[in-house]
Structure formats: structure tokens, C-alpha cells
Structure 1
Amino acid sequence: MTNQFGQFNLKANIIKAIDGIGFVKPTKIQQRLIPAVIAGRDVVGQSQTGSGKTHVFLLAIFNALDPSVNEVQAVITSPSRELAEQLYEAFRDFQKSLSEIDKNFSNLRIANYVGGTDRHKQTKQLEKNQPQVVIGTPGRLKDFLGQNLLLVNHNKFFVVDEADMALDMGFLTDVNIIASAMPSDLQMLVFSATIPDKLTPFLKKYMKEPLIEEIPVSTVVADTIDNYLLATKSKNKNEVIYDLLTRGETYLSLVFANTKERVHEIAKFLTAQGLKVAEVHGGIEPRERRRTMRRIKNQEFQYVVASDLASRGLDIEGVSEVINDDIPVDLEFFIHRVGRTGRNGLSGTAITLYGPDEEDKVEQLEQLGIKFQPKQLKDHQLIDVKDRNQRSHRHASQKQLDPELIGLVKKKKAHVKPGYRRQIQGAIRFKQIKDKKVSQRTASRARRKAKSDK
């Protein structure tokens, strides 16, 4: 297939380098924004994770770089170490492809400055030479700018990647300080999965009549993903996860949990069952996290257990399955979790575990437009639930309870604090079991009587 990036008036060496990384057809956001960025416009790109935002600014920056000029020409800020590392790897990969065509780019200096790395070494490097492309987390970049170690007097591009995540993590003040240190005539590019209202003042302050492009999606979850819902009921979640992971061959499975403590608990359990498991969360020392991420990318693990923070920072090739140990507190993270699979046109599977007390969260996700296929785990296989609307029928059946149970429900609601739903459901189950036993005893007595009458 012919390389379709030629339509953007990119330099010939850039087009050839794109061939080298295997890109042929631009994504929707690349189609809409690359021409504007090349033309010098400020842009705001809003689209879902995995849509190709990174290569909008990567290609435009390389197209404008002059490797013979020994000064900072582009600064990219990323809210997490993992995301910064992935951007750095993407830039290095493209530099390698471009260097095979144009040797002038072989000595291009691309730096990655993030918290938790060797600050002293980076300081010495900056005192000796300025990098031409700078990638980093807001805190480290702000510090280097404040100490006049990083010189951006002639910088051309400032990219704010995952702006909504920077806002959520409290880094927007640092990003603001970085932006204020930049030349007034630079080009600013902002990319984000969402554009919250609190981000608007920042955009208005620094951007000059930006082109704002929102790439709508036909479905909240990509249609390449089988999105399953699995009720755990009274089952042990660790055992359910192990059963799911070992039911068949998967290339790479990600398990997401809400807290680092739960991530550690799952990883420890799976390891004890003989699985080789990587553990990724914010409580792990930065150097160890980087080492783990390298090992994951080198395909040393088939199973990865991660926290929600990592769900926005894991960009791993070939994820065939995502398992949600629970429903995230911030429902938006659900989209980021399942978005780790089914990428680049490949198929994937997302399985969400939920308990009786998470019915409301499931309904909220459905209200966001997320569609589930209810499943049950039986004999090491996922099978369809016969009644796909079983939850709504269960709600309806509560209205048909006998008077005693209705009175019990009303009493619980009147006197029990939040959490009464679990107690009500327990009482309902107890009453149903009790009634079933009474019915069985009655039937048994009737059979015995019938025999004695013969």
C-alpha cells in the first residue's frame, strides 16, 4: 500500500523515515491536525487514547528540526514518568529510522528529564550541551528552567501531552510556569483525551487562535474489543482472575486494580500460583519501575498487574486481554483501562469483574454509552449469561416480594446507614434459602405420606 503521509507536504526524508517505522495510513487526528501544525498553527487535539496523537507532533517536530543548530528546539511535557519514557522511545525510534536516510540526524540529542532519575548527571550534561528535543515531567523541567540549566530562548515548539491528566494530578501550575518561560512566538500544541473546563483559562492564556479538533468516536469502547461483564458473587476474586488468565493462550494480559495495595495482593497471589507477573504502581521505586517497563516491552512477562495511574501510562504492543479487578472510582479510567487492548485494528478482550454492591457503577458506565456482554465463568470457560438483562429483572423481582420481605426492606432502609443494600440483598438471599428449605421439607413429607398410604 502506498504511504499516504505524502499528502501533508512533509520533507522527503521524513516520508522515507515513516516507511521505516511501518506507518502507511494516517489516523483521523493525524489527518486533521498534521497540516495545521506544519503550517505553524497552535492546535488543541482531543481524541481517545490510542488514536495516534503522539505522531501528530512527533512528525511535525522532526519536519522542522535543524540538527545543525545546537539549542533547544522542542519541549514536550508529560504528566507521568511512564508516558514520558514512551514518548522518548517513540522519538528515538523515529530518529533511528531517519538517521538511516539522513546521517545529519544521527547525532541529534533527545533528552528525557523525569523525577526519580540522576539529577546530578543530567545537570552536568546540560552544562556541557543543550539537547535539541526535550521530553520530561513538569516538576523536573520546571526545576531545570528555574536554575537556568535548560535554555529555551529560541525554542520553537511547546507540547503539552495528556493535558487533562496533568490537571488531575495537580501539575498544571508547573506546566503554567514552564509555558511562561517560553518565547512569545513559539508554537503550542496541546493534546488530551478530554478538555475539562478548568483547562480553558490555561489554553486562552498561551494559545493564539488555536485550531481545536475533537475526534468523535462512534463507540466509547473500540469495536475491536469484546467487552465482557462478569459477576463474581461470593467467589474469591484472586481465584477468578487466575482462572481467567489461565483459561487459554493470551499474548499479554493486563490486570487493573484501584489501589497499589490491591495490585500487590493480586500479583503476590498469581506469583504463588506459578505465573511470572510484573507489578506496576506508583509505590514502586522509579528505577525499579523503569526496569520493569523495559522487561515488559522485551516480552519477559505474559501477565502485568497495574494501578489506574499506570492505565494512562502503559503503551505496550500486543495486549490481548484486559481484566478489571474492580470498577475504577473515576469511571473515566475504565475507558483508559480497556483502551490498552484492541489497538491498531487488532482484536482484544476486556473483562470487568463486579460484585453485588457495584450494580450502580455498572449502570453508570452503561449510561456513558458503554455496552457489556454479560458472561459467567464455568468449567474454565466464559459462556453467555442466558438472561442478558438479568440485573434489571432482579430489580423488578424485588417489587414482587412477599409482604414480610417488603417490610424487612423498608425497615433496613429506615434504620441502616449507607451500605444497607448489601444487608438487604443478604436478607433477601437468606429468606429465599429459608423458603426453599421449607418447600423441600413440605414436599418430602408429602412424598413420605403418599408412600405410607399405599
Structure 2
Amino acid sequence: MLFKDLGLSAALLKAIDKKGYSQPSPIQEKAIPQVLQGKDVLASAQTGTGKTAGFTLPLLHRLGESKAKKRPVRALILTPTRELAAQVYDNVKEYSEFLNVRSAVIFGGVNQNPQVDLLKKGVDVLVATPGRLIDLNNQGFLKLNQVETLVLDEADRMLDMGFLRDIKRILALLPVKRQNLLFSATFSKEIKKLAASFLNNPVLVEATPENTTAEKVDQLMYRVDTKQKQDVLINMITEGNWSQVLVFTRTKHRANRLAEKLNKSKVTAAAIHGNKSQGARTRALAGFKDSSVRVLVATDIAARGLDIPLLPYVINYELPNVPEDYVHRIGRTGRAGASGQAISLVAGDEVSYVKGIEKLLDQRFDFEIIEGYEPDPNAPTEKPKPQKRGRKNHGKRSSSNRNKNNSSRSNRNKNRKGPKRN
């Protein structure tokens, strides 16, 4: 099938052709006709399969040429992160090049004034993160009472980031009668529950089975002691002369420390996570894309929405404790049919995480050992359980001690002076 067979307008086909595309991906082929018919859609497709165009193209087709002078927001696309919002906005701009459609993107971490100025001029398609959208709405800078189509992109990550309450608040601001599209890489019970709460008789579209990984991603698991991970990582990158390596850590602090260590070892690296300013995140990503930065060290939240064509290497410096996040991580490579390598450095206390990933993917991994970095065979393979406090008399205070402390606390409160009243 070709894009011209899907019923899209001539202006959209011209923009598609300019980008060099002729055949839709499986998710696009299945989703576009359903969206064009105005149906609510619940779509699942692994990362890198073209989900964005799957909703952007038919959405723009349905909007058609805008004739309204004030241009109210008619299509709202919600994303969990700034990077993903910017990526989706770029797609909207490119595909609407030959249409009379205005679009804008709003997200936090930057000055709101330029965003407010755009909204005042009128916007047909608005791409937004939930927090900034609610903030500007509360300030009276936008209205959502004429939205015709709502898109939740990467809805699973929105829930992971705690946006459920914000999503419900936004839904209450929208017209009851509208088209709803929910796109996600994976579906959980929570996602299905959310979908059931606001989608009307949705069409289920799946390009690949749930929680699957790209076929062309070569997945390798190395057993490495925690204290050896830095040396192993540096050795892999330098000996292999790798560039454009995306490395995942579980915490922002670890991302910063690892990036510093890599730079000291003359491997150019930058960290990207939620505590970084938008300017720093933009510079890091730009440097990574033009290869002036060889390694991008990221947390799961910051990495969602990174669109790096032909990314060859993803390394799990620390495995995620949520198996679904492993799917998202390695989905950064092997995109659009390209091949890639996903390498995991597994410490003894992360072995249980591998078991969770194996269960999710219904796949078995064999650990490999790197010569010269053999792990301690006696290292624990489970996270240490916190000791229970207060067994028998250990860690307990006697009732007499508790009474003494309570009495002392009461006396201190009596002696404490309160504020003077006028």
C-alpha cells in the first residue's frame, strides 16, 4: 500500500513526498483510515514504528484548511515530556507545510511569554505537556472548549510520571463531543482503565504484539560487578570506537556522575534528565545528534521522545526495575527497520530484574562474561531486604522511657513562647 491509497489530501501527500516517504508503516496503514473516519482509536505500536505520523496525518486531513479568523484550538496533542512535545510539533509543522494550519508547542522549563504570544495569535493544533497547559489555562491564556480531536501520546509514560490527575483535569476542560486517540508503546491495566474512561467505542489498532521488541535489535546481557561497570563501559566505547551511544541510568545523580567520569576519560558525554534546564537538554541532544557528543547518559523519563535516526547502541548501565521500561529503552535503537545493539550490564543484585524482563517478553537471556571483568561468584543475586526493627527488645524504647520523652516534650512545649497577638 502507498500513502496515496489512504485517502489523504493532495497537500499532505505533497509534504509526505517531500520527506521522502511513499509507503506507510504498519501502524500508519492500520490507524490512518480509522482516524480519517472520525473513530476513537486505541493504538499500540512499539517505539520507532511511526506512531506520530499515524495520528498527525489524518488529524491534519480532518482539520482541513482553517478559515476561522481567531483560530481556536481544534486539535490538542498531549505528551509526557518536553523532548517528545518538540518532536511531535516538528512533525506537525512538516506535514502541514502546504496547509493553512497554524500550530504551536508549549511546555515548562522555559519562559512562557513567547508561547503566550503564539496562543494570542490563534492556533489550530496545540502540542503540550500537561503541566504547562494547565498553568496557561489557569492564567486565562487559552481555551479548550472548541477542541475537536484529543491525542494522548505515550500515555503509559504519562501515568508513570504521575499525570493521571492532570489528564482528568484537562479532560474536564474539553467538549464532551470530540474524537479521542490514545497512542502508546505498551499497554498496562492502568492504561486500559484510562482508555475505557473517555474513549467511545474505540477501534483497537496493534502493529505488533504488546511489549515486544524490535526484531533487528541484538540484545546482550553481561554479568558485571557494580564497581566494574564504569571501566567496562569506557572500554567498550573506546575499544569499539563507538559513537552515538545512549546510556541509561536509574537516577539523575548517577547520570551526572557517569557523564563526568566519561568526560574525564576523554569520552565526550552529556547527561540529560528532568533536573536539567531546557537549554542544557537541547544542547546535549543537538551535540549527540551531530556526534560532537559521543555518549548521552539519560534517565527513563528524559529519554522518552528522543528521536535519533539510526541510533546504533543503547546500553543499560543500570537495568530498570520496571520491565516495561526495558522495552522503551531498547526501542531507541533498531528504529524504522534499522539494526541496533542493546547491551545490559547486570550486577548481581539486578538478576531479579532480568527475570522480570524475561517473563514480560517471554524470552530467555544467557549471561555473557567479559574476559578481565569476571564478576564475583559470591555476589548476592537479590536486593538486600531491609531488616525489621523492633524485634524483641532491640531498637525498642521501654514504656518508662517513652513516658519520660513525652513528658520532656510536653514541658518544652509549655516553655515555648508563642507569637504575640495585637
Q: TM-score, normalised by structure 2?
A: 0.82
User: Which of 210, 215, 219 pairs up with 2:207?
Assistant: 215
* Residue pairs, 1:2-81, within 5 angstroms: 4-65=2-63, 66-69=65-68, 70-81=71-82
Match of 2:112 in 1: 119
Higher relative contact order (CA 8 A, sep 6+): 2
Structure 1 stretch displaced more, 329-338 or 193-202: 193-202
Are the structure 2 counterparts of residues 249 and 94 from structure 1 closer, same or farther at C-alpha, using a change threshold of 3 Å?
farther
Are the structure 2 counterparts of residues 418 and 174 from structure 1 closer, same or farther at C-alpha, using a change threshold of 3 Å?
closer
CA distance in 2, matches of 1:89, 1:318: 18
Deviations 1:345-396 (A, max 9, x none): 111111111122222222222222244354333489xxxx9xxxx9xxx99x
CA distance in 2, matches of 1:211, 1:118: 39
Match of 2:417 in 1: none
CA distance in 1, matches of 2:346, 2:198: 44
CA distance in 1, matches of 2:36, 2:285: 33
Match of 1:315 in 2: 307
Match of 1:164 in 2: 156
Are the structure 2 counterparts of residues 216 and 349 from structure 1 closer, same or farther at C-alpha, using a change threshold of 3 Å?
same
The answer as to whether partners of 1:110 and 1:132 remain within 8 angstroms in 2 is yes
User: Which of 181, 186, 210 pairs up with 1:189?
Assistant: 181
* CA deviation after TM superposition for structure 1 residue 290, in Å: 2.5
The residue type paired with residue 91 of structure 2 is A
Are the structure 2 counterparts of residues 234 and 31 from structure 1 closer, same or farther at C-alpha, using a change threshold of 3 Å?
closer
Are the structure 2 counterparts of residues 186 and 114 from structure 1 closer, same or farther at C-alpha, using a change threshold of 3 Å?
same
**Secondary structure of 2:122's match?**
coil
The residue type paired with residue 305 of structure 1 is V
* Residue pairs, 1:355-366, within 5 angstroms: 355-366=347-358
CA distance in 1, matches of 2:44, 2:319: 25
Deviations 1:71-129 (A, max 9, x none): 3221101111111111112222333xxx3xx3x54xx42211101121233234433x1
The answer as to whether partners of 2:39 and 2:202 remain within 8 angstroms in 1 is yes
Q: TM-score, normalised by structure 1?
A: 0.77
CA distance in 2, matches of 1:358, 1:182: 44
Are the structure 2 counterparts of residues 343 and 88 from structure 1 closer, same or farther at C-alpha, using a change threshold of 3 Å?
same
Deviations 1:236-285 (A, max 9, x none): 21111001111224341111111111111111111001121121111212
The answer as to whether partners of 1:227 and 1:371 remain within 8 angstroms in 2 is no
**Secondary structure of 2:350's match?**
helix
CA distance in 1, matches of 2:211, 2:250: 24
**Secondary structure of 1:118's match?**
coil
* Residue pairs, 1:258-297, within 5 angstroms: 258-297=250-289
* CA deviation after TM superposition for structure 1 residue 24, in Å: 2.4
Are the structure 2 counterparts of residues 267 and 184 from structure 1 closer, same or farther at C-alpha, using a change threshold of 3 Å?
same
The residue type paired with residue 284 of structure 1 is K
* CA deviation after TM superposition for structure 1 residue 144, in Å: 2.3
Match of 2:91 in 1: 90
CA distance in 2, matches of 1:378, 1:115: 46
CA distance in 1, matches of 2:93, 2:272: 24
Match of 1:253 in 2: 245
Are the structure 2 counterparts of residues 19 and 251 from structure 1 closer, same or farther at C-alpha, using a change threshold of 3 Å?
farther
Deviations 1:280-309 (A, max 9, x none): 111212332133223333443221111121
Larger radius of gyration: 1
> How many aligned residue pairs are there?
380
Deviations 1:185-215 (A, max 9, x none): 2211111223333344543342221112233
**Secondary structure of 2:213's match?**
coil
CA distance in 2, matches of 1:299, 1:91: 26
- Mapped pair 1:147 → 2:132: no
5+ long unaligned stretches in structure 2: 388-422
5+ long unaligned stretches in structure 1: 396-408, 421-454
Deviations 1:140-186 (A, max 9, x none): 11222333321333322111111111112111221222222222222
